Amino acid sequence: MMKSKFFIPSSFLFAVLLLSACQDNKRLPILGPRSAETVKNTDGSSSTDTVYKTIPAFSFLNQDSVTITNDKFKDKIYIADFFFTSCTSICPTMHRNMKAIFDQYKDNPDVMYLSHTIDFKYDKPAVLKKYAQKLGVDDGRWQFVYGSKDSVYKIAEKDYLVAVIEDSTQKDGYIHQGWLVLIDKQKRIRGAYDGTDTRQVAQLMKDIPVLLAEDKQ
């Protein structure tokens, strides 16, 4: 199984997590690629704005065989991850930890969850439904979604910056990273946490209210 490593340099990521741990009451960083864009102001002058990477529009089938799009997460923050139901390595730990987060914020409708299966051969909606039920999730705030290999692998690697690979030489047939990726209401990446590391999962729990508080500032 591939060691978890976000595409952003690991030294930078861990510095971000350390900074977040020390500044719980401040804004979280915005992660991922960014670019400068020249914009015209109302007075005719020009200024430079920073444009951050955002999660693009998507369409997948969920565990209820219903098509969901990014509109499902409009005005919500959410945690995204990539897994497969027959995974015997990191997935069980990832989702036990994610379930703990789900339970802690179960009364907050502004927090959602999005788990993408990378097993495009087996993990059809009915399989995802059984998986969700076994996990103890029967709530529309946590979506388990299926899509074509191209659509899922592309959004994982290019947008969430998480590596996923089909590899027949591996015991389970796939390699993937175990990041829980925190997305804000503007669809920007605000954090990435190793879903198998209890300390990083605990930090994610602390960072959620920090992100929620941004809208009230």
Relative to beta strand 111-117, strand 142-146 is parallel
What length does the chain have? Answer: 217
Backbone angles phi, psi at 47, to 5 degrees: -145, 165
Beta strands in the chain (DSSP E): 34-40, 46-52, 59-62, 67-69, 77-83, 111-117, 142-146, 164-166, 174-176, 179-183, 189-194
First to last CA, the chain: 42
Q: What angle do CA 203, 206, 209 make, to 5 degrees?
A: 145
Q: Which helix (H) or strand (E) holds 184?
A: none
We report the CATH number of the domain holding residue 160 as: 3.40.30.10
Residue 49 to residue 37: CA distance in whole angstroms? 5
Asked, for residue 2, whether it belongs to a domain, the answer is: no
- Given a cut of 50, the residues of the chain with pLDDT beneath it are 1-24
Cα 6 to Cα 17: distance, rounded to the nearest angstrom:
12
What is the tens place of the pLDDT at every residue in 126-183?
A: 999 999 999 999 889 999 999 999 999 999 999 999 999 998 888 878 888 999 999 9
- Judge whether 42 lies within some domain: yes
Contact 79, 181 (CB under 8 A): yes
| Domain span holding position 188 | 10-216
Q: Does residue 82 lie in a domain region?
A: yes
Q: What is the pLDDT of residue 50?
A: 84
Structural domain includes residue 5? no
In a domain, 3, yes or no: no
- pLDDT value of residue 22: 43
- Please give the pLDDT value at position 39: 65
Cβ neighbours of 128 (radius 10 Å): 24
Q: pTM for the whole thing?
A: 0.84
Specify the pLDDT at position 8.
Answer: 44
Domain count, the chain: 1
Residue 1 within a domain:
no
* Residue 40 resides in a domain: yes
- The CA-CA-CA angle for residues 93, 210, 194, to 5°, reads 25
The DSSP string of 163-177 is -EEE-TTSSSSEEE-
Count of C-beta atoms within a 10 Å radius of residue 77: 23
83 in any annotated domain: yes
